[in-house]
Chain A
Amino acid sequence: MTCDHLSRLLALFVIFCAARTGSVVQGARDFEKKASMLLKEEPKNPKCFAEGRKDFTCFWEEDEERAGSVDQYSFTYTYQNENSSRCPLRVVPAAGGKRLFICHLNRTQMFVEMDVQVHREGMLIHNRSLFVELVFFLDPPGNVTVSGTGQQGQLNVSWVPPPLKYMEDSMMYEVIYAPEDQHPGQVEVAQASSELILRGLQSGTKYKVQVRVKLDGMSYNGYWSAWSDPVFMETLPAEFDPLILSLTLIISFILILLCLTMLLSHQSICSRFRFLIKKIWPTIPTPDGKFQGLFTVYGGDFQEWLGQTSGGLWLTPALVYSEERPSPLEVLSELSLCPSLSSPPLPPKASKALSAVRKEDVKNGLDEREVLERGDSARTDGWRPPPHDHWLMDRLRELHRHQASLLESQDAYVTLSTSNQGENGHADDNFEEALPLEVLFASRKTVSCESHSDLGSVQQSSGSGRLSSQSSFEYPHQAWTAKGPLYTYMAVADSGVSMDYSPMSRVDDIGKVVFYAHDYKNEIPAHRRPLLSRQYPVHDEG
């Protein structure tokens, strides 16, 4: 029996001793950690800190070789207006061949100045004056828990403050957090509270969170504690925002509807597509295709080129149907042309000014004007005698048919009819046919040869020539009857331009002239055409 008791007692004793040493070892380890931190932070000697309401520890470091024994040193502290006291010292070996001399006090007085002196064999080696409540070095907060808040990108961190009565309201905390593999982390400060919500975090990532504590410096002060043990927590995975999803669906639905309506509401998809492309990225027509060799070989010298080519070019406008929408502008006149024309004063300038003003119709305008300019220049250079007019009519009809088949839209045909009452009396079949795209406004060139040039200029000061133009709206898609040799026909395939053929002999006039900028969309409904024709003030009756 006694053996049993004894063995039990022995076991208890062993356990007790183990527990005690365990705590002592733990305490020593804690102290070592704090000492090493303080050795880096505090420059003054001895380093002192208070861990709680009563515990107070001071220490200093000495090299192994130079240190004496403990007895050689004396540690004295003096509170203000009090007598000095001594503190018993102990030695602890430290890393790097050093020794730590430690003084520990169990009772302290706060809010009063404390003088600390360290003597070695009577000689003062360290001297320091401090306040105990200003050198707190607390343990890190315990029980750090991180939990989700139920919202995206947020975490709730909570901890237990160090157990110091009266001082909880004076504590401030720092929370450092970062995704698991990243350095350094972001820091958030919390004052006198024991929880904090982290916001703006990435979704679905694992975060590492640590907390440390310090007194705020008003009544109490101290050093930052060590970081608490890290706690890991994953944020909520990214969820699809229902609002964005619904908006995306709605917009895509609308787009699909638009595409479908566009596709279904028109017979030919290709033409619609080409139309769109032409609207968005209009091709700027160049004359190169129609005048082979004019620019490459003859460098733009029209006369030379005329001399070299023959009537084979007649076929080109009919046969060549390039990507670009052709805007053939033909004015066929049987009237003689006035050879001695002064140089066309204005078309280049006027057309340029016009094009400057009418930017939206530049494409077609330039096209026309280029042709017209060429016509002008050709005019001045002299003409070859035109063929018979019946051939002309055949040609026109063929062209018209061809054009009608090519251009399935309702293009505007502006016909300029002139009656020449000039003295010239030449046969009306004076006509230059070799240049199908020339505009020959022979009618305009009357005896007086007024050089108000803009082509198709209807109102002339001379008035001896008459040009009347009729919109093709009056001939809606019917047989375009040739009016006879007295008329000059200008077939204009127009896909958007509208010209006001009013005198623009002077640049100043351009500003005063009213431009009708209605667009010839090819889908002009039939019933609106007469309306448009009213906007065509191109009649000149005299």
Chain B
Amino acid sequence: MANRRTYGPNREDPVRGSADTAMEFPRLLALLLIVLEWTRPGLPSPLRPICDLRVLNHFIKEARDAEVAMKSCREGCSLSESVTVPQTTVDLDVWEKKNALEQAQEVQTGLWLLQQALSLLRTSVSNTELHSHIDTSIRNLLSINAVLRSLNIQEYTPPASAVGLEGTWRASSATDLLQVHVNFLRGKVHLLLSNAQACQQDVS
């Protein structure tokens, strides 16, 4: 009842009581805090870099399992059309000459290509066991993207189309595709992660 305004004798402007003026300050403060909360800069806290290579080793193992499963598949495991896959070749001299950005770009392009290819394989293949393997592989590729993000490697903007990209091959069979998948993870992705700048700082 402290907010009750008392009206003056002539019913003119209401006279504000002493309690009202006392409550002004807390109200303003509350309003200020709410506004500040809304307008808080929305930058996420920096991710902790994932430098443990056992994560990647786990993905490599699962990719190998998928390759083995595909080799033993007889029916319903063929690729409907040929896909573009990244080249897995690594010449260490050539690789070392590239700077970190180029290496990251190469890896991210390859990951994107593999995602496209595996999605296509998922629709082509009718074997349910292979479905689980392919789903795992696609999930792992997305996880690798998250790992790269944690290493402060900038986001990758995929090209408009995969046709005509440099450093690519064509894979026409499912086994080739999965073999490329394994070799890519073992090679370029492993090299990139093991030499990531964010991890080097931790070590040194």
Q: Check B187 against A111 for contact (C-beta < 8 Å).
A: yes
In the bound complex, how far is the Cα of B89 from the Cα of A110, in angstroms? 6
User: For B57, what are the chain A residues with a Cβ–Cβ distance below 8 Å?
Assistant: 218-219
Give the distance to chain A from B63, nearest Cβ to Cβ, in Å. 11
Within 8 A of B (CB), among A251-282: none
User: For B195, what are the chain A residues with a Cβ–Cβ distance below 8 Å?
Assistant: 166
A220 to B, closest residue via Cβ = B186
Residue from A80, A131, A219 in contact with B190 in the complex, judged by beta carbons closer than 8 Å: A219
Q: Check B60 against A110 for contact (C-beta < 8 Å).
A: no
Q: Check A218 against B60 for contact (C-beta < 8 Å).
A: yes
B162 located at the interface, meaning its Cβ lies under 8 Å from any Cβ of chain A in the complex:
no
A305 located at the interface, meaning its Cβ lies under 8 Å from any Cβ of chain B in the complex:
no
**Contact of A219 with B93 at beta-carbon distance under 8 Å, contacts A166-B194, A169-B194 already known:** no
Q: Check B89 against A112 for contact (C-beta < 8 Å).
A: yes
B173 located at the interface, meaning its Cβ lies under 8 Å from any Cβ of chain A in the complex:
no
User: For B87, what are the chain A residues with a Cβ–Cβ distance below 8 Å?
Assistant: 81, 112
A107 located at the interface, meaning its Cβ lies under 8 Å from any Cβ of chain B in the complex:
yes
A383 located at the interface, meaning its Cβ lies under 8 Å from any Cβ of chain B in the complex:
no
Give the distance to chain B from A382, nearest Cβ to Cβ, in Å. 104
B191 located at the interface, meaning its Cβ lies under 8 Å from any Cβ of chain A in the complex:
yes
Give the distance to chain B from A523, nearest Cβ to Cβ, in Å. 77
In the bound complex, how far is the Cα of B88 from the Cα of A81, in angstroms? 11
Q: Check B92 against A110 for contact (C-beta < 8 Å).
A: yes
**Contact of A107 with B186 at beta-carbon distance under 8 Å, contacts A81-B169, A112-B88, A166-B191 already known:** no
Give the distance to chain A from B143, nearest Cβ to Cβ, in Å. 17
Q: Check B53 against A111 for contact (C-beta < 8 Å).
A: no
Give the distance to chain A from B167, nearest Cβ to Cβ, in Å. 11
Within 8 A of B (CB), among A66-122: 79-81, 107-113
Most buried by A among B57, B91, B184, B195: B91
B183 located at the interface, meaning its Cβ lies under 8 Å from any Cβ of chain A in the complex:
yes
B188 located at the interface, meaning its Cβ lies under 8 Å from any Cβ of chain A in the complex:
yes
B165 located at the interface, meaning its Cβ lies under 8 Å from any Cβ of chain A in the complex:
no
B90 located at the interface, meaning its Cβ lies under 8 Å from any Cβ of chain A in the complex:
yes
A34 located at the interface, meaning its Cβ lies under 8 Å from any Cβ of chain B in the complex:
no
Interface residues on B, range: 20 to 34
Give a binary string over A144-188; 1 marks a CB under 8 Å from any B CB, 0 the rest: 000000000000000000000010010000000000000000000
Main secondary structure of the interface of A (DSSP, over half): loop
**Contact of A219 with B186 at beta-carbon distance under 8 Å, contacts A166-B195, A169-B53 already known:** yes
B179 to A, closest residue via Cβ = A113
A206 located at the interface, meaning its Cβ lies under 8 Å from any Cβ of chain B in the complex:
no
Residue from A54, A131, A166, A218 in contact with B93 in the complex, judged by beta carbons closer than 8 Å: A54
A388 located at the interface, meaning its Cβ lies under 8 Å from any Cβ of chain B in the complex:
no
Q: Check B194 against A218 for contact (C-beta < 8 Å).
A: no
Give the distance to chain A from B200, nearest Cβ to Cβ, in Å. 12
Give a binary string over A116-149; 1 marks a CB under 8 Å from any B CB, 0 the rest: 0000000000000001010000000000000000
Q: Check A107 against B60 for contact (C-beta < 8 Å).
A: no
In the bound complex, how far is the Cα of B191 from the Cα of A53, in angstroms? 13
Q: Check A109 against B91 for contact (C-beta < 8 Å).
A: yes
User: For A113, what are the chain B residues with a Cβ–Cβ distance below 8 Å?
Assistant: 179
Q: Check B92 against A54 for contact (C-beta < 8 Å).
A: yes
Q: Check A111 against B88 for contact (C-beta < 8 Å).
A: yes
In the bound complex, how far is the Cα of B189 from the Cα of A166, in angstroms? 12
B191 to A, closest residue via Cβ = A166
Within 8 A of A (CB), among B151-204: 169, 179, 183-184, 186-188, 190-191, 194-195
In the bound complex, how far is the Cα of B92 from the Cα of A77, in angstroms? 19
User: For A80, what are the chain B residues with a Cβ–Cβ distance below 8 Å?
Assistant: 89
Most buried by B among A54, A81, A107, A219: A219
Give a binary string over A49-68; 1 marks a CB under 8 Å from any B CB, 0 the rest: 00001100000000000000
In the bound complex, how far is the Cα of B183 from the Cα of A111, in angstroms? 6
Give the distance to chain B from A110, nearest Cβ to Cβ, in Å. 5
Q: Check B191 against A109 for contact (C-beta < 8 Å).
A: no
Q: Check B91 against A107 for contact (C-beta < 8 Å).
A: yes
User: For A169, what are the chain B residues with a Cβ–Cβ distance below 8 Å?
Assistant: 53, 194
In the bound complex, how far is the Cα of B90 from the Cα of A53, in angstroms? 11
Residue from B61, B188, B194 in contact with A111 in the complex, judged by beta carbons closer than 8 Å: B188
Give a binary string over A438-480; 1 marks a CB under 8 Å from any B CB, 0 the rest: 0000000000000000000000000000000000000000000
In the bound complex, how far is the Cα of B188 from the Cα of A168, in angstroms? 16
User: For B92, what are the chain A residues with a Cβ–Cβ distance below 8 Å?
Assistant: 53-54, 110, 166
User: For A79, what are the chain B residues with a Cβ–Cβ distance below 8 Å?
Assistant: 89
In the bound complex, how far is the Cα of B89 from the Cα of A109, in angstroms? 6
Residue from A54, A107, A108, A110 in contact with B187 in the complex, judged by beta carbons closer than 8 Å: A110
User: For B61, what are the chain A residues with a Cβ–Cβ distance below 8 Å?
Assistant: 218
In the bound complex, how far is the Cα of B60 from the Cα of A299, in angstroms? 96
Give the distance to chain B from A216, nearest Cβ to Cβ, in Å. 9
A167 to B, closest residue via Cβ = B194
In the bound complex, how far is the Cα of B195 from the Cα of A169, in angstroms? 11
B57 to A, closest residue via Cβ = A218
User: For A81, what are the chain B residues with a Cβ–Cβ distance below 8 Å?
Assistant: 87, 169
Residue from B53, B93, B183, B194 in contact with A112 in the complex, judged by beta carbons closer than 8 Å: B183
Give the distance to chain A from B177, nearest Cβ to Cβ, in Å. 13
Give the distance to chain A from B61, nearest Cβ to Cβ, in Å. 8
User: For B90, what are the chain A residues with a Cβ–Cβ distance below 8 Å?
Assistant: 109-112
Give the distance to chain B from A85, nearest Cβ to Cβ, in Å. 14
Within 8 A of A (CB), among B70-112: 87-93
Give the distance to chain A from B131, nearest Cβ to Cβ, in Å. 26
B188 to A, closest residue via Cβ = A111
A131 to B, closest residue via Cβ = B183
A216 to B, closest residue via Cβ = B57
In the bound complex, how far is the Cα of B89 from the Cα of A108, in angstroms? 10
B61 to A, closest residue via Cβ = A218
User: For A108, what are the chain B residues with a Cβ–Cβ distance below 8 Å?
Assistant: 91
Q: Check A218 against B186 for contact (C-beta < 8 Å).
A: yes
User: For B89, what are the chain A residues with a Cβ–Cβ distance below 8 Å?
Assistant: 79-80, 109-112
Q: Check B186 against A111 for contact (C-beta < 8 Å).
A: yes
In the bound complex, how far is the Cα of B57 from the Cα of A425, in angstroms? 115
A82 to B, closest residue via Cβ = B89
User: For B194, what are the chain A residues with a Cβ–Cβ distance below 8 Å?
Assistant: 166, 169
In the bound complex, how far is the Cα of B111 from the Cα of A494, in angstroms? 102
Give the distance to chain B from A227, nearest Cβ to Cβ, in Å. 27
| Selected A-B contacts with CB under 8 Å, 6 pairs | A109-B91, A112-B89, A112-B90, A218-B57, A218-B60, A218-B186
**3 nearest A-B residue pairs (beta carbon):** A111-B187, A112-B89, A219-B186
Q: A110-B92, A166-B191, A218-B186 are in contact. List 10 more A-B contacts (CB 8 A).
A: A107-B91, A107-B93, A110-B90, A110-B91, A111-B88, A111-B186, A111-B187, A112-B87, A169-B53, A218-B61
